[in-house]
């Protein structure tokens, strides 16, 4: 199975996993183990050996000459007989150790001769030399007795010892053994012994994928003497933990009433789970005869608990409590308050985990703007000044974040445990389908009567909003506890009455993903949507808190931007964000192999990504996950993801994880994959550059200029995707390039052949051969200091010059193509530097944006008003999303065999791609160029004829295409079958690469591709081509004629309402009558579109009315 995973054989891996699960299921394991009488919770111990050991113990104690012979003999006989210690006690402990235990018991018995029940005072530690320590305590005491406190104190001592071992990177092997009989004859309490053996791990360089116990176990470990069946269960648990990074619980039943519960997890940074496991067993009322707890070289821990008299129900309760305990945290003044409530049995483990997720929801969605109403008013006043509005929004977010803290929310739920439990019960009923998602007014009244502070009431009421918004969640996943919890939220509930200035459009779906060491969101603006997953790193606590405060807003705004960019592809815009903790919660323990050596290490990021994606997959596979999906009303969740900051290397992993889970569209789940999985790398084939440079060529064509005669300035160098490909495809005279390594400049134009050499080799500008530079040319590396340029200007460092070179007078040319750089590198404060000394003449006549967000909107407006031909990133660099969309289409349309042979290859073993793949890539490029030309001409027409700025034209075109596509998709299923089928067949034949159509035909695509995705293909192609051809001011009549031109051979159908030939209407009219063609005017205020009752034979008209 490991080989299958490593070599990308997803189907083989899935088959083997199913077989492993089948073989390792409790029923199969029980059959195997019952044949050996295992697990026997009281295994036998040879009578002769036991007698010999007892004699040896007696001799050792007599030799001490501390207690009398009769007393020693009596105690030894009781320990070996009436005490009822499990057989493993005599197997693991030496005669010397048992003698020490007996000696301690006699001492405890005589410590306070006046105590009526001396067994309650048993609490001592025996440091038996070297690497062995025993903790002996009374157990099984009444819950509220003084002896119960003794037992908990002993647990705390053991826990502290294990924590010390972890801090010192030592191995530990804990064996807990409990007596069946009373600690002393006639006593109430029993005896519990914790035996801890410590050691060291000999491995220093260990792969995070290593799962073999013989490699991961320390040289000396109690597991060495374990039954092979136990070791087999441990090995299965370890494989599951390594592959999923989740907590795992396996239950094996042996003889009637006899169970072994095996728990394993990789989330062990600063945690060994002894307190949580002990509390879980107390809560459900199970007491093990013995259990083992071991850590391993990769950081995982495995615990096996043996119960001699248990029921299925109790064991299942224990399994649930243990798995949810993995997600509890103990951060002081925050989650520590919930943790304390769980450990004190005030609330359940599940309730504690729910509250932690609920706190994240409240913190993210609490309407803070209600406490700063002046902000809304000022924002409206600044409606005509977008730059000032954005500054106000930034200031607002900085100030308002102090209004609500997670400490305050945690404090409130801690002070009201009865409300907290009610919140959880309300959530449980909704999540499991026992109640509809509604706002619980009865609970709201309880909140009002319990809290006097109005803001406290509103904070607590947000938990009811959280419950009301639940559409789907994996919280109650049946097969296992998730690695993270995903909550599919109803946007109309979550964002109800929130200001349009903050959230201008309503998303289709929102996910909150809550992990033990991360928080995340996923937002999409259409059912079928795609966008990158961004993993945000925080340098310190302050930046983490700032990122946390704006996490949802960042996700929302990125998804909204993606929605505009995805205008001519089937998928709408989406974005996922993952925010890990800035540091491990435990200061001294710096991580492990599985979790990562730091919270922001590649391994840790991979773990967060794996669990984030796994939680979303649970919701995409509700039947497999055993979660209730009735609130979706028959719809299914189908998400697509792409690479973004810090996740580019995880796209193959994401697809493989989905394949291993049996997700039918796993090949299409992620884009940006390697070619081994059918990916189409943007940089290799210059996909994004294809659209950017098409805009350059189309602009020059309109202006009647020759590319070879113009000068160009470029940010983003020959080592990057956009920068290198821009150099390779262009023919201009490039005068300056800025990249991460420094600045390169030549007023006469940089040597083209030398630039091509760097771009081909992906080398930075610091590798440029300076002998090619002419008069006035220079190359300055960021490592240089005290830099003096030919004009005499001085710079402290080359890095300072690099960051500001685009603002110097050197950065001047006919064309500026930013292919890299920081967001808002040109903004309202410095845009004046892009003008000559007169302050009127721009230094660039043309700007075609390659990099995202290099210029702020306000800076764009200034440049366009000065006469610069400027084309916005959302239009120019869409080649990447076009390419990814067609990569998804191939993965959806081709069956597994075709996809593997036609779209996948390994460059290490095959120098040539499959012929189909090469043709498909070339046709993707042709589609990108065609789409870029179409949109350019639409923007140009809008600018020239309607005098809209090019930037505003981009926004208008994106809005109109998206609204029209939404209308087409909304009415897709209401079309008559023959009309819909013909439209689908025609559009698929036009929209998709011919090589794909030739391979499987239109029918093959319809057979394999989900129906919702096909509807999206039709909607996006029709909407984009209509708007590109007829412009943003086109109306319903133009759309009618557009469809008529597309479908000239559609025959007029007889109306079923009358005789043939009477009351007829064409299919074109029928289709066009249900599609909304938005007005050009942008709705103001709270305006909404409503349908006019028009005649069925003509397209329906729409009017703008005030709500």
Q: Known catalytic residues?
A: 575
Distance CA 380, CA 377 (A): 5
Q: How many Å from the N-terminal Cα to the C-terminal Cα in the chain?
A: 60
Q: Please give the C-alpha separations between residue 1016 and each of 197, 433, 1022, 1054, in angstroms, as whole numbers.
A: 62, 30, 10, 29
- Identify the CA nearest to 173 among candidates 43, 33, 297, 322: 297
- Helix, strand and coil percent figures for the chain, each rounded to 5: 50, 15, 35
The sign one gets for the Cα dihedral 973, 976, 981, 986 is negative
Given a contact cutoff of 8 angstroms between Cβ atoms, the answer to whether 920 and 903 are in contact is yes
Instruction: State whether residue 1065 is helix, strand or coil.
Output: strand
Cα-Cα-Cα-Cα dihedral of 923, 925, 927, 929, to 10°? Answer: -140
Distance CA 141, CA 121 (A): 11
DSSP 8-state assignment for residue 1053: B
The sign one gets for the Cα dihedral 950, 952, 955, 956 is negative
CB within 8 Å of 633: residues ≥ 6 apart: none
Q: Which helix (H) or strand (E) holds 1038?
A: helix 1036-1046
Given a contact cutoff of 8 angstroms between Cβ atoms, the answer to whether 400 and 376 are in contact is no
What residues pair up with 484 in beta bridges, in sequence order?
Answer: 515
Q: Please give the C-alpha separations between residue 988 and each of 269, 396, 884, 996, in angstroms, as whole numbers.
A: 52, 47, 17, 10
Distance CA 12, CA 20 (A): 12
Residue 79 φ/ψ, nearest 5 degrees: -65, -40
Given a contact cutoff of 8 angstroms between Cβ atoms, the answer to whether 868 and 845 are in contact is yes
Instruction: State whether residue 797 is helix, strand or coil.
Output: strand
- Size of the chain in residues: 1107
Q: Please give the C-alpha separations between residue 371 and each of 367, 403, 458, 868, in angstroms, as whole numbers.
A: 8, 8, 12, 42
Residue 665 tokens read as: 């569209």
Residue 157 tokens read as: 């001592």
Instruction: State whether residue 669 is helix, strand or coil.
Output: helix
Given a contact cutoff of 8 angstroms between Cβ atoms, the answer to whether 815 and 696 are in contact is yes
- Identify the CA nearest to 334 among candidates 406, 271, 276: 406
CA angle at 1102 for the pair 383 and 509, rounded to the nearest 5°: 65
What residues pair up with 135 in beta bridges, in sequence order?
Answer: 125, 194
CB within 8 Å of 755: residues ≥ 6 apart: 718, 727, 734, 737, 768
Q: Please give the C-alpha separations between residue 53 and each of 57, 61, 97, in angstroms, as whole numbers.
A: 6, 12, 11
Given a contact cutoff of 8 angstroms between Cβ atoms, the answer to whether 250 and 24 are in contact is yes
Q: Which stretches of 155-289 are assigned E, i.e. beta strand?
A: 170-182, 190-200, 248-253, 259-265
Question: DSSP for 814-864?
Answer: EEEEE-S--TTSB-TTTGGGGB-TTSSSBSEEEEE--STTSB-HHHHHHHH
Query: How distant is the alpha carbon of residue 701 from its chain centre?
Result: 44
CB atoms within 10 A of CB 1074: 17
Distance CA 795, CA 808 (A): 12
């Amino acid at each position: 199975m490991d080989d299958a995973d490593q070599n990308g054989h997803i189907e083989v891996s899935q088959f083997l996993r199913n077989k492993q699960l089948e073989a390792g299921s409790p029923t199969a394991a029980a059959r195997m183990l019952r044949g050996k009488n295992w697990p026997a919770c009281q295994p036998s111990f040879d009578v002769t050996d036991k007698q010999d050991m007892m004699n040896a113990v007696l001799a050792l104690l007599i030799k001490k000459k501390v207690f009398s012979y009769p007393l020693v003999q009596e105690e030894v006989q009781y320990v070996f007989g009436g005490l009822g210690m499990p057989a493993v006690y005599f197997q693991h402990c030496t005669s010397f150790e048992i003698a020490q235990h007996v000696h301690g018991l006699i001492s405890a018995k005589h410590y306070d001769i006046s105590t009526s029940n001396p067994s309650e005072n048993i609490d001592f530690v025996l440091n038996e030399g070297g690497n062995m320590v025993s903790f002996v305590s009374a157990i099984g005491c009444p819950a509220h007795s003084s002896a119960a406190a003794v037992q908990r104190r002993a647990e705390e001592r053991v826990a502290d010892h294990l924590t010390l071992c972890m801090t010192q990177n030592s191995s530990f092997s804990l064996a807990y053994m409990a007596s069946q009989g009373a600690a002393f004859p006639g006593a109430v309490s029993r005896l519990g012994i914790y035996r801890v053996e410590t050691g060291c791990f000999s491995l220093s360089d260990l792969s995070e994928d290593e799962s073999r116990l013989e490699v991961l176990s320390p040289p000396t470990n109690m597991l060495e003497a374990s039954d092979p069946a136990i070791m087999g269960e441990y090995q299965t648990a370890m494989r599951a933990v390594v592959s999923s990074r989740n907590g795992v619980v396996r239950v094996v039943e042996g003889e009637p009433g006899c169970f072994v519960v095996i728990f394993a997890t990789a989330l062990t940074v600063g945690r060994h789970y002894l307190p949580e496991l002990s509390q879980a067993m107390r809560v459900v009322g199970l007491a093990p005869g013995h259990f083992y707890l071991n850590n391993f070289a990769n950081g995982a821990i495995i615990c096996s608990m043996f119960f001699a008299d248990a029921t299925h129900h109790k064991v299942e309760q224990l399994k649930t409590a243990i798995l949810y305990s993995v997600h509890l945290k103990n951060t002081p003044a925050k989650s520590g308050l919930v943790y304390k409530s769980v450990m004190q049995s005030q609330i359940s483990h599940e309730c504690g985990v729910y509250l932690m997720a609920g706190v994240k929801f409240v913190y993210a969605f609490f309407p803070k703007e209600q406490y700063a109403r002046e902000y809304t008013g000022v924002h409206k006043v600044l409606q005509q000044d977008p730059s000032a509005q954005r500054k106000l929004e930034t200031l607002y977010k900085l100030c308002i974040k102090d209004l609500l803290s997670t400490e305050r929310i945690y404090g409130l739920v801690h002070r009201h445990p009865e409300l907290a439990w009610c919140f959880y019960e309300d959530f449980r009923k909704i999540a499991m389908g026992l109640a509809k998602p509604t706002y619980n007014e009865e609970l709201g009244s309880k909140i009002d009567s319990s809290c006097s502070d109005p803001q406290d009431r509103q904070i607590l009421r947000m938990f009811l909003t959280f419950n009301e918004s639940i559409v789907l969640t994996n919280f109650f996943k049946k097969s296992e506890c998730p690695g993270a919890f995903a909550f599919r939220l109803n946007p109309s509930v979550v964002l109800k009455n929130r200001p349009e200035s903050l959230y201008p459009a309503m998303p289709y779906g929102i996910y909150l993903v809550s992990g033990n060491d991360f928080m995340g969101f996923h937002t999409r603006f259409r059912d079928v949507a795609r966008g990158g997953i961004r993993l945000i790193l925080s340098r310190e606590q302050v930046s983490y808190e700032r990122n946390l405060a704006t996490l949802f807003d960042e996700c929302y705004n990125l998804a909204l931007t993606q929605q505009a960019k995805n205008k001519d592809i089937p998928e709408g815009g989406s974005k996922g964000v993952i925010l890990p903790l800035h540091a491990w919660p435990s200061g001294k323990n710096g991580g492990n192999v599985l979790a990562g050596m730091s919270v922001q290490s590649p391994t840790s990021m991979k773990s967060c990504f794996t669990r984030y994606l796994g939680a979303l997959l649970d919701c995409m596979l509700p039947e497999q996950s055993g979660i209730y999906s009735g609130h979706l009303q028959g719809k299914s969740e189908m998400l697509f993801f792409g690479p973004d900051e810090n996740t580019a290397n995880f796209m193959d992993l994401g697809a493989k994880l989905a394949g291993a889970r049996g997700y039918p569209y796993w090949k299409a789940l992620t884009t940006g994959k390697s070619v081994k999985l059918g990916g189409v790398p943007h940089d290799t084939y210059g996909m994004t550059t294809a659209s950017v440079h098409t805009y350059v060529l189309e602009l020059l064509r309109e202006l009647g200029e020759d590319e070879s005669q113009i000068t160009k300035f470029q940010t983003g160098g020959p080592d990057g995707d956009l920068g290198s490909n821009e150099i390779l495809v262009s023919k201009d005279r490039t005068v300056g390039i800025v990249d991460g390594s420094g600045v390169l400049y030549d007023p006469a134009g940089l040597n083209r052949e030398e630039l091509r050499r760097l771009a081909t080799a992906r080398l930075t500008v610091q590798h440029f051969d300076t002998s090619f530079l002419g008069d006035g040319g220079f190359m300055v590396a960021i490592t240089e200091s005290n830099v003096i340029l030919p004009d005499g200007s001085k710079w402290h460092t080359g890095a300072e010059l690099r960051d500001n070179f685009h603002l110097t007078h050197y950065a001047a040319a006919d064309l500026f193509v930013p292919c890299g750089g920081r967001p808002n590198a040109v903004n309202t404060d410095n845009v004046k530097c892009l003008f000559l000394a007169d302050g009127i003449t721009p230094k660039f006549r043309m700007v075609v944006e390659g990099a995202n967000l290099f210029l702020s909107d306000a800076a764009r407006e200034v440049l366009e008003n000065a006469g610069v031909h400027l084309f916005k990133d959302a239009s120019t660099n869409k080649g990447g999303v076009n390419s990814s969309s067609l990569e998804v289409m191939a993965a959806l349309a081709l069956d597994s065999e075709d996809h593997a042979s036609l779209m996948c290859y390994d460059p290490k073993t095959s120098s040539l791609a499959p012929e189909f793949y090469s043709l498909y890539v070339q046709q993707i490029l042709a589609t990108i160029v065609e789409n870029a030309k179409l949109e350019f001409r639409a923007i140009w027409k809008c600018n020239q004829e309607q005098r809209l700025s090019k930037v505003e034209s981009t926004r208008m075109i994106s809005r109109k295409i998206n609204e029209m596509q939404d209308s087409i998709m909304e009415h897709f299923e209401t079309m008559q079958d023959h009309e819909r089928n013909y439209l689908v067949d025609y559009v698929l034949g036009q929209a998709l690469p011919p090589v794909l159509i030739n391979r499987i035909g239109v029918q093959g695509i319809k057979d394999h591709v989900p129906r919702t995705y096909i509807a999206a293909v039709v909607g996006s192609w029709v909407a984009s081509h209509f708007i590109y051809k007829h412009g943003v001011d086109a109306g319903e009549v133009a759309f009618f004629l557009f469809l008529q031109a597309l479908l000239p051979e559609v025959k007029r159908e007889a109306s079923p309402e009358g005789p043939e030939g009477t009351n007829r209407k064409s299919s074109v009219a029928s289709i066009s009558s249900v599609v909304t063609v938005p007005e050009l005017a942008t709705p103001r205020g709270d305006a909404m579109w409503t349908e006019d009752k028009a005649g069925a034979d003509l397209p329906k008209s729409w009017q703008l009315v005030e709500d």
